[in-house]
Amino acid sequence: MDRFSGHSRMLSRVCLLALAGAATSVMGALPVSAADEVNQERLLNVDKEPGNWLHHHQNYSAHRFSTLKEVNRENVKNLKVAWTMHLGGIEGGGIWSHGGLEGTPIAENGFLYVTDGWGSVYKIDAHGGRGVLVWKMDPKTDRDWAGAVACCGVDNRGVALWGDLVISHTLDGRLIATNKETGQVAWQRTVADPDKGEVITGAPLIVKNMAITGVAGAEYGIRGWIAATDLATQKEVWRTHTIPGKGEPGSDTWKDSNNAAAAGGGSTWVTGTYDPATDTIIWGIGNPGPDWDNAYRPGDNLYTDSSLALDATTGKIKWHYQHTPNDPYDYDSVAENVLVDIPGPSGPRKLALEADRNGFAYAIDRNTGKFVWGLPFVKKVTWTKGLDAETGKPIEYDPNKPVQTYVASVTPSRDNMETDICPGNMGGKNWPPTAYNPDLKLWYIPVIESCNRIKVEVATPDKLKPREFWTGGGPSQPFKITGSVTAIDVTTGKIAGKMETPFPNLGGILATPDLVFSGQPSGEVMALDAKSLQKLWEFNTGGGVNAPPMTFTVDGKQYVAILVGLGGAWDKWFIDSTPELKKIQPGSMLYVFAL
């Protein structure tokens, strides 16, 4: 492989981008008016613009809930395809044969902004009941360089809007600002370094005048971080590492003699949330590395497998809550934290909800980080007998033990080199987002009902090399995997319903006042009754659904949109557990539905 330095490669890409012009203009675009410029006031008050979808997770609290109700439980059976649009980004690169679609479209005033797996941005005019491409910005991502260290697929989960700019990431580590009107790149800066195994797959979170970026790469021995870029000066404001350095708070939870924390993982590849009342960013943190040989890294391994609260202005850590200390299962906690307020005995309880890969759903006090409640949301959990009612830690957790074994008979370890775990390492929930209905107080989880087999390999320092897997073993898939949509009543912390699905839920959830929308990797998009979870409507797209639905209005009419194109990790690492999905062909399509 070409061995240019990362700096030389970046210069090459910038030059290519400038020469290419970056954007393909398809039709003239109207100038952006002051009313169209996105500022903090609009982002704080998205409930005043129910026809738009301005945040990746719909609002700062990650509710993915829309008050739109033209499409409802009485008429959803009449939902039809309004229009479709083929996108690009299906090309392979590195270890990947093709790209996939995992993004959430952003909708503003009748225009959609979507990405493909390689980070190209498409602006689409949705007026007139049809979709017309306005422009496409191709960032000219270095496919082989970045694709070779993209652990889990050629993916990009979407954009953000700020001022008159579209803010996006690329797999090869850049933050790009594109002019909303012309599609021309206004500026770009390097945030992550694939030379170290760092890539970016998540959508940006805009807080005040900053773009917040997370990083992927725990399986390549990186040291995770969250970074803030000032969108006016184009300079970094702060960067907070999720693995503490020597002498920093939490560094004593890495008790090895291998300097394991230097390559300890803790990636941050799912977009976090923001609580403006306390100026707090809450972000999910990934697994420690090496994944399965936890004897290499004795200690709790903070801040891996945690929900982490940061001061948005400074990046300083306010609190953390760790779900699986010294994780030997690859049960990262990278999922979004959903911020909800529920009635309490002495006023509203302010919670952060997280559906963890370990199969448990957690409610944490979002002001203090204190455990409130937790429960399993999958049907089969074998790695622990349950959670401690006071702390929420696994019952078997012993803070005096440097290496945790939990239920030792099923835990991968140097004494148990091959074993079966439930949930499997893809988790009871992976990255696909949950949704929350604030009226019904129901939280909907896209569930993977799974087990798999783990084989441990003893890690030694000489095996840690840049841009090579650093996992301490690996999984195999001898078990059938299915899924569900599971609803939790957040006032009681109890399961309120479960709709079984033949395949794992790999795309995520949208909630409206009386409906829940989701999809299947076999191609079906469906609408469920929000209370009973009874299926009310289904449409087969003919391609694998690997992205979450969203909804918006144009000229007063409601539409539901979803990207379709199975990619990511499933069809490479886990396909043997769902052999029927081997028939699903790669694709790249935007579907838009209406009555």
Going by the DSSP 8-state scheme, the letter that residue 48 receives in this structure is: G
Of residues 549, 579, 587, 565, the one with CA closest to residue 71? 549
Going by the DSSP 8-state scheme, the letter that residue 439 receives in this structure is: T
Backbone phi, then psi, for 541, in 5-degree steps?
-80, -15
Residues in the chain: 595
HSE (CB half, 13 Å, CA atoms) of 436? 24
Residue the block writes with tokens 């078997």: 396
Mean pLDDT throughout 549-558? 98
- Percent above pLDDT 70 for the chain: 94
Q: How far is CA 244 from CA 43, 259, 264, 302, 494, in A?
A: 32, 12, 10, 7, 35
Q: How far is CA 438 from CA 39, 61, 226, 330, 571, in A?
A: 25, 11, 29, 32, 35
pLDDT bucket at 172, cuts 50 / 70 / 90:
very high
Q: Residue 112 in 3-state DSSP?
A: strand
Residue 36's pLDDT is what?
A: 83
Residue 2's pLDDT is what?
A: 35
- Percent above pLDDT 90 for the chain: 92
The active-site residue, picked from 155, 164, 305, 330, is: 330
Residue 200's pLDDT is what?
A: 98
- Per-residue tokens: 246: 């020597």
Which comes out higher in pLDDT, residue 363 or 31?
363
User: What CA–CA distance (Å, rounded) separates 33 from 231?
Assistant: 19
Per the annotation, the verdict on 330 as an active-site residue is: yes
Going by the DSSP 8-state scheme, the letter that residue 301 receives in this structure is: -
Q: What is the pLDDT of residues 259-306, one digit of tens each?
A: 999 999 999 999 999 999 999 999 999 999 999 999 999 999 999 999
Mean pLDDT throughout 492-518? 98
CA dihedral 123, 128, 129, 131 (to 10 degrees): -20
Sheet of 550-554, strands arranged across:
80-86, 589-594, 557-564, 550-554
Which comes out higher in pLDDT, residue 217 or 21?
217
Residue 24's pLDDT is what?
A: 55
User: What CA–CA distance (Å, rounded) separates 140 from 79?
Assistant: 37
Q: Decide if 578 contacts 521 (C-beta within 8 A).
A: yes
Q: What is the DSSP string of 559-577?
A: EEEEEE---TTIIIIIGGG
* pTM of the entire predicted model: 0.95
In DSSP terms, 354 is beta-bridged to 362
